[in-house]
Amino acid sequence: MTQQPDCLFCGIVAGTVPSTQVDEDERTLTFMDINPGTDGHALVIPKAHARDLYDIDPGDLAACSVTAQRVAGRAVRQLGADGVNLINCAGEAAWQTVFHFHLHVVPRYRDDQARDSLRLPWTPTPGDPARIAAAADLLRAAG
């Protein structure tokens, strides 16, 4: 298993950094976030080090997604969540602070300020059609 010496989450995989684990399989580990956004906020990581979304092995990414689905289901059934956000921050500009890939599994609770005070971080507003189309053209093109 590829580990990186100074990586915090590799330390969690190795057991040298403490964590509150909730799930483990061959490729992934899931533990509680120490700064939870809501009740039950957990992080799914690949056991093999990958810096971010661009770096992760596609098989590990698929495994993390399947684990996130399993943990999200438990959040609904066992914590009584009304919904779940899966969040990945890829790069500093996208709020990534720990550079070992992780999926945030964030249970959501309707009308329960004590467990969930999150707000949508943007204001949905109709975009300029020309800018939307221009971005779509670039996204369609092979990079």
What residues make contact with ligand AMP under the rule CB under 6 A? 8, 17, 19, 31, 33-35, 43, 89, 95-98
- Would residue 111 be called left, alpha or beta, if left means φ above 0 and alpha means ψ between -120 and 50 degrees? left
- Would residue 68 be called left, alpha or beta, if left means φ above 0 and alpha means ψ between -120 and 50 degrees? alpha
Residue of 41, 47, 74, 100 that binds Zn ion (CB under 5 A): 100
Q: Which is nearer to ligand AMP, 18 or 127 (CB)?
A: 18
CB-count exposure of residue 7 (10 Å: 0-12, 13-18, 19+): middle
The question of whether 102 is a catalytic residue gets the answer yes
- Would residue 74 be called left, alpha or beta, if left means φ above 0 and alpha means ψ between -120 and 50 degrees? alpha
* Under rule CB under 5 A, residue 10 binds Zn ion: yes
37, 118 Cβ separation under 8 angstroms: yes
Partner that binds at residue 109, options Zn ion, ligand AMP, none, CB closer than 5 to 8 Å by kind: none
| Candidate segments 6-14, 20-28, 70-78, 133-141, binder of Zn ion by CB under 5 A | 6-14
Element (H, E) at 28: strand 28-32
Partner that binds at residue 49, options Zn ion, ligand AMP, none, CB closer than 5 to 8 Å by kind: Zn ion
User: Minimum distance from CB of 96 to ligand AMP (Å)?
Assistant: 4
Residue of 47, 49, 74, 102 that binds Zn ion (CB under 5 A): 49
* Under rule CB under 5 A, residue 7 binds Zn ion: yes
* Under rule CB under 5 A, residue 65 binds Zn ion: no
Which residues are the active-site residues?
102
